[in-house]
Structure 1
Amino acid sequence: MTNAWRTLIAGCCIAAAPLALAAGDTGGDDGAAQGGHDYPTQVRVEYVLSCMDDNGHDFVNVYKCSCVIDKMAVALPYNDFVEQSTFSKYASMGGEGGAEFRMDRARAQTKKYLALQADAYRSCGIGKQTTAAAK
């Protein structure tokens, strides 16, 4: 098969994906079907946009970053996601205000979150995530 045909076929599959989702066909990779947890749509969108900020605003990253948040939703209840992602986000906050985010429990939650995120990034085909908290 030539590269032109591969590109055409890949383009057709990507263009058909939203139509399949609108028709209710999730291809068996639905988080709810796998025992996933319900995250608000706004949180999913914010995560995907943030992921794309870190990894590029290529069209393919919409799908890759959506894959990451879907995998995280399968593995982590929403309240745990909020807690762990908050600790991770503010782990490098300096001064007295950041002291709460540097306690042992906060460090453990940050470590869990970053490990889960790294696994999701790998399985969804996104390069290694580097954050200030991971350094």
Structure 2
Amino acid sequence: MLNSRLSNNGVVKTVLAAIFALAPLPQVAAAAGDKSVNDYPTEARADYVYVCMKTNGESRDSLKRCSCSIDVIASLLPYERYEAAETVSSMNQALGQIGTMFRNSPQAQATSQELRRAQAEAEVRCF
């Protein structure tokens, strides 16, 4: 049982290391200039708008507001950080010990908080 826990802990650390190694610091991304505003793939933007519209209603007004929302998020959060935060959100839903260790990780919590701040700003500006 102890070996299983140590093994799971290693898996979580490896996943976290991979996520944060691939996601540049916000200051580095900001130095990239205008590219960071439009670095989200169309598929990621469309997926966000689709889920947003399913949540907020499938209307023309929702389309406008949801499109605005992802644009605001993209202006505040480089795609690499958004992708890392989405991965953290997905892993936070995992059950069991791995999910618990992931939810308790300070790095994962900071990444999730960064996305929540961007989403809150998008909510204020667009809805």
TM-score, normalized by length of structure 2? 0.65
CA RMSD of aligned residues (A): 2.1
Aligned residues: 94
Q: Give 1:114's aligned residue.
A: 116
Q: Give 1:70's aligned residue.
A: 71
| 1:33 Cα deviation from its structure 2 partner | 6.2
Task: Return 5+ residue gaps in structure 1 as ranges.
Answer: 1-31, 126-135
| 1:97 Cα deviation from its structure 2 partner | 3.5
CA deviations 1:82-135 (Å, max 9, x no partner) are 00122124324321342453111111111111121011012101xxxxxxxxxx
Q: Letter of the 1:111 partner, please give it.
A: Q
| 1:35 Cα deviation from its structure 2 partner | 6.0
CA deviations 1:16-45 (Å, max 9, x no partner) are xxxxxxxxxxxxxxxx96961311101100
Indicate how the Cα distance of structure 1 residues 54 and 101 shifts in structure 2: closer, same or farther if over 3 A, else same. Answer: farther
Q: What's the secondary structure of 2:80's corresponding residue?
A: helix
Indicate how the Cα distance of structure 1 residues 44 and 100 shifts in structure 2: closer, same or farther if over 3 A, else same. Answer: farther
Q: Give 2:92's aligned residue.
A: 91
Q: CA contact under 8 A between 1:34 and 1:74: conserved in structure 2?
A: no
Q: Which has the higher contact order (CA 8 A, sep 6+)?
A: 2
TM-score, normalized by length of structure 1? 0.61
Q: Give 2:82's aligned residue.
A: 81
Q: Give 1:20's aligned residue.
A: none
Higher fraction of helix: 2
Bigger CA radius of gyration: 1
Indicate how the Cα distance of structure 1 residues 33 and 110 shifts in structure 2: closer, same or farther if over 3 A, else same. Answer: closer
State the identity %.
34
